[in-house]
Structure 1
Amino acid sequence: MDSEIELKLLVTADAESKIREQFLPQLKASIEHESVQLYNSYYDTPEHALRQHGMGLRVRGNNGDYEQTIKSKDGSVGGLHKRAEHNVDIPSNQLDIALFPDGIWPEALNIEELKQQLTTLFSTHFRREQYQIRLPDGSHVEMVFDSGEIETDKYHTPVCEVELELKKGQSDALFQLARQLLDIIPFRLGYKSKAQRGYELFLGEEAEMAHIRPEFKLGKEDSLQEAFIILMSELVQYWQYYEQRFVELGKVRDIVELVAIMRLMKRNLKLFEKHLSCAEFSELSLQLKEQLKYWDWVDELADIKELLSKKGFYRKKLQKQEVVMRHLQARQTQLLEMHQPLQLLHQSSYARLQLNILEMLTHKPWTNAPLWQEESINRLAKKAIREELKSIFSLFHFETKESVKAYLKNLPALNKVVEIQTLLAGAVGNRTGQSLKTWTDLLDGAEELKVLHTLEKNLRKLFSEGEDSLIHWCVAKQESLLEVMELSREAALLAQAEAL
């Protein structure tokens, strides 16, 4: 059995010439080059039994030589792939799973039934430019540029990607080469394998996951290290998932979710920064802060998306206002054209940030810190939640009625509470977690206020020459919502006071 550690990088077609003419000549390394044409058939049962067990099965043909491979998941994160695989040479293009070791199959699979049910679902064919890069420190990295297609009976989609696979040495070599490549070729990190893309093409799926925010499965007894890796790994996966969905489908919702995940990631780093005593955390937090500045405009985009949504609170009122709807749609288009999210996703600083996060998760630098302790996440979670509840209690404990502007000003504080709840709720008891949930209604109200406030600003631009009844309606809605929020605030304060 072999084990792969590789980075998958999504590039454009001109990457091939830049690799050959600019990237490779600058390396102080021994380089061997080979060009091959590969044809791969991927197999599974009609019920996708192998996919359900996280396994992929293929036969690869190369100039009359054939090899069958079975791969299984063992911890891929974002664009960094770690997989166990078994390779067997075969005399022809005929699959024979009996040649694989018996112990590789999950107990739930009946191998005799599997043999009878396996069928070809899709194929990939591509030209591979393959480079064996041997660095002065003894590291050996295989770099390939693949250009071709994935095909089913009905559909096909292009392949254009670079893979860096560690053959020998430390994973530092992968990340160093990736950074050097980024200086020459813009790329995004790819989290989908060719097999995964093939399954989606075969099934006609737009995506393999529903539009949901992540729920982190932390246990009270998980160590700080285990908890941090669980949280950060999930965040990276969702980040790249929404990124890829936006690239493929261009939906505003995916950009809104992507930014929310980046903010959660920043909060997560801050939570663990002191406890794991890792200098990389503060550096990554700073990089995330700088990257998020490019995405500040998404808050307004999210409000307009809600106003335009067919399921939005105010769609029934606004859909009769054609002038207003056209204005909001134009503003949404204007925001997207002004800020060019696809270009932002191809910034070198954006890809570099993701590389730095993956490298940290690979190397786990906090384990070398002298203050490292293998304590449970439960202790940190309780402390963080208590501190946040104390802060929010003080912030919202006032006698007089608050204004819309005051709630909007304190929206980041409410967001922080809910972010901590999202990350750490699984590491504390129900009672502690419930204390945080009492503030959720207030956040929902503040978010709705923000949407109405955005609507009011756009209405005042639209009707700048005179008053309009819709503006009065919008202001009245905010005042009415404010009354309800005051009740939520009092209920949250009372519940927290009883809990203290």
Structure 2
Amino acid sequence: MEIELKFLLQPDLVTKFTSLIDNAPFDISAPNVRHLRNGYFDTDQKALRQFDIGLRIRSCELATGEKSAEQTVKLAGQDVGGLHQRPEFNVDLPVPTNMVADLSLYEPEIWPAGFDVDEIQQQLMLLFETDFQRTTWHVSMPSGTVIECVLDQGAVKANGQETIISEVELELVSGEVKELFAFAQYIASKVDVRLGFLSKAARGYHLLAGKSLSCVDLNKVNVKADDAVETAFVKSLTAALKFVQHNEQVFCASMSPKSLRKVLDGWSLIIHVMQLFADLIPTAQAKALAKGFKMVRKQHKWADSYYQINQLTSRKSPFKKDIDNSEFLTSLVAQEQWPEHKLMRAVGFFSSREYNQLILNFIQWLSGKAWRNELSLEQLTVLSQPIYVHTQSWLDASWHNLKAVLAAYKLEPDQENLEAIYWPLVESLLTGIVASNVFGDEAESVTNAQMDLLMGCEEYILLSRLESLLVEHQENHQVTPENDYLGWLNAKQSSLNMAIVATVGNVSQLKPYW
């Protein structure tokens, strides 16, 4: 079983990293440098990828000129926020190799159910290649744990396109997983690195498809009615962390406001999951980690207002046409675009010591189920209880809170009561993301209605943000624009408020699916 962590490293920091390793206070072997060329295989229909199987042929050349080759298959395993654990099987090949993969070289028992070896073998083809220099050190920790530290520099190549490889991999050779994290923390405290969740193969598939990584939305977690409390907890936090890391990768590559906002949403989901399970898994470390995510969420709260401005002119904005048709409004909104220095600082934050420490602690705690060490025997029995009973009480509580603010808004549908709906609605939706799958498709109508209401609330927030810009402009310049933009805006708000009143009525009458 391969157990490893992966860091992304900016090419201009390679010298600093190698110097760090050479001078680290551990017993470290001399570096071994090899040139590696890998070919990755699959069928035209991506049959291997559907089974989460990776197949490659690697040719290797040492500095001495000695050559070797091997074929490797990696089967589906576990990936918790960048800690990869996958079964791996290697077969030596003759040199030179002809880059033709052969599945029959492996024992038939390794393949998953439904995997037709003969049929897939006939359809295998070379899809893409990686070409890079690998520098390897073996690190012996004081405890006796041995870690392989690898620096890869090169490129992934497909369809005449390529993307750079500049990454560090830490693999546990023998000993304790906690020592792997300790060494990772040491590196992250000295060099700006960022945890990577995409393998070289995954990047090759993206390059092959001609697509850059794009934002993903929050979807309900695959929690089942018969899942134990602990299983549901791990599933929920793993899904939230993957969501954060995916959109973090998109943001660091593109600096898009949407992707940063989604990272913030992911942090909110992690915090919410911790709160939902707080009585079931009451540990000091869980509270400390939740506090850490609250702090980073608060540090990036500035992004919310800029995101709202960005949304005013986004492709899907109901106000885009009106703004585009007005030179004044276009100019006003343009003045409030995202400041580049803040975006650059946010990109840097994801490689910071502070954030790496939080994420590595979180991954270690989650993958090692470290909460068990803090629980009494009685509390440990709760972990095996079915989650079904608890999901009902969570949904009841969030529904009760939401109905209270909806009732207040129905009595007096003003801006203050509308804004009061927002967070109870968000919390109800976050609870649904964790718990609704337990009840199958019954949750869909409730979720859709709540999403409609959330969309209405967010549109109203956008108009309020635009209103504040208009008022601020008039106060600062002591002039009134030629057109009555505030009148236009108030008419939009009035119309939207009527639609929200109707949606609130619909949501209030929904029957709980639980």
- State whether structure 2 residue 89 is matched by structure 1 residue 86: yes
Cα 1:71/1:323, change in 2 over 3 Å? same
2:342 aligned partner, one-letter code: M
- Secondary structure, counterpart of 1:443 in structure 2: helix
* Among 443, 446, 453, the residue aligned to 2:464: 453
- State whether structure 2 residue 470 is matched by structure 1 residue 466: no
Counterpart of 1:53 in structure 2 is 51
Counterpart of 1:481 in structure 2 is 496
CA shift for structure 1 position 347: 2.4
* Among 293, 306, 317, the residue aligned to 1:288: 293
Counterpart of 1:248 in structure 2 is 253
Counterpart of 2:364 in structure 1 is 359
Counterpart of 2:419 in structure 1 is 408
Cα separation, 2, equivalents of 1:499 and 1:34: 60
Counterpart of 1:337 in structure 2 is 341
Residue pair 1:307, 1:315 contacting (<8 A) in 2 also: yes
Residue pair 1:421, 1:433 contacting (<8 A) in 2 also: no
Cα separation, 1, equivalents of 2:324 and 2:261: 23
Cα separation, 1, equivalents of 2:185 and 2:396: 41
- Secondary structure, counterpart of 2:23 in structure 1: helix
Cα 1:65/1:490, change in 2 over 3 Å? closer
Q: Please give the residue correspondences for 1:260-409 in structure 2 after superposition, counting only pairs within 5 Å.
A: 260-334=265-339, 336-340=340-344, 341-368=346-373, 369-370=375-376, 371-372=379-380, 373=382, 374-398=384-408, 400-409=411-420
Cα separation, 2, equivalents of 1:215 and 1:33: 46
Structure 2 gaps of 5+ residues are 62-66
Cα separation, 1, equivalents of 2:513 and 2:86: 47
1:79 aligned partner, one-letter code: G
* Among 203, 206, 212, the residue aligned to 2:212: 206
Counterpart of 1:225 in structure 2 is 230
Residue pair 2:220, 2:432 contacting (<8 A) in 1 also: no
Residue pair 2:216, 2:243 contacting (<8 A) in 1 also: no
Cα 1:9/1:404, change in 2 over 3 Å? same
CA shift for structure 1 position 188: 1.0
Counterpart of 2:42 in structure 1 is 44
Counterpart of 1:25 in structure 2 is 23
Q: Deviations over 1:389-421 (max 9, x none)?
A: 223333443374142133224422222122212
CA shift for structure 1 position 494: 5.0
Residue pair 1:77, 1:191 contacting (<8 A) in 2 also: no
Cα separation, 2, equivalents of 1:459 and 1:389: 37
2:7 aligned partner, one-letter code: L
- Secondary structure, counterpart of 1:375 in structure 2: coil
* Among 74, 77, 80, the residue aligned to 1:74: 77
Residue pair 2:306, 2:338 contacting (<8 A) in 1 also: no
Cα 1:115/1:485, change in 2 over 3 Å? closer
Counterpart of 1:420 in structure 2 is 431
Q: Deviations over 1:284-318 (max 9, x none)?
A: 11000110122212222332222111221112222
Q: Deviations over 1:313-370 (max 9, x none)?
A: 1122222012312332331233x43353322322222222221221112110223311
Q: Please give the residue correspondences for 1:168-187 in structure 2 after superposition, counting only pairs within 5 Å.
A: 168-187=174-193
Moved more, 61-70 or 110-119: 110-119
Cα separation, 2, equivalents of 1:8 and 1:475: 52
Cα 1:153/1:489, change in 2 over 3 Å? closer
- Secondary structure, counterpart of 1:129 in structure 2: strand
Q: Deviations over 1:196-218 (max 9, x none)?
A: 111211221223x7743222121
1:452 aligned partner, one-letter code: L
Moved more, 155-164 or 351-360: 351-360
Residue pair 1:216, 1:423 contacting (<8 A) in 2 also: yes
Residue pair 2:215, 2:247 contacting (<8 A) in 1 also: no
CA shift for structure 1 position 239: 1.0
Moved more, 484-493 or 163-172: 484-493
- Secondary structure, counterpart of 2:385 in structure 1: coil
Counterpart of 2:239 in structure 1 is 234
CA shift for structure 1 position 243: 1.2
Structure 1 gaps of 5+ residues are none
Cα 1:435/1:147, change in 2 over 3 Å? closer
Residue pair 1:216, 1:231 contacting (<8 A) in 2 also: yes
RMSD: 2.5
CA shift for structure 1 position 461: 3.1
Counterpart of 1:130 in structure 2 is 136
- Secondary structure, counterpart of 1:274 in structure 2: coil
Cα separation, 2, equivalents of 1:54 and 1:441: 35
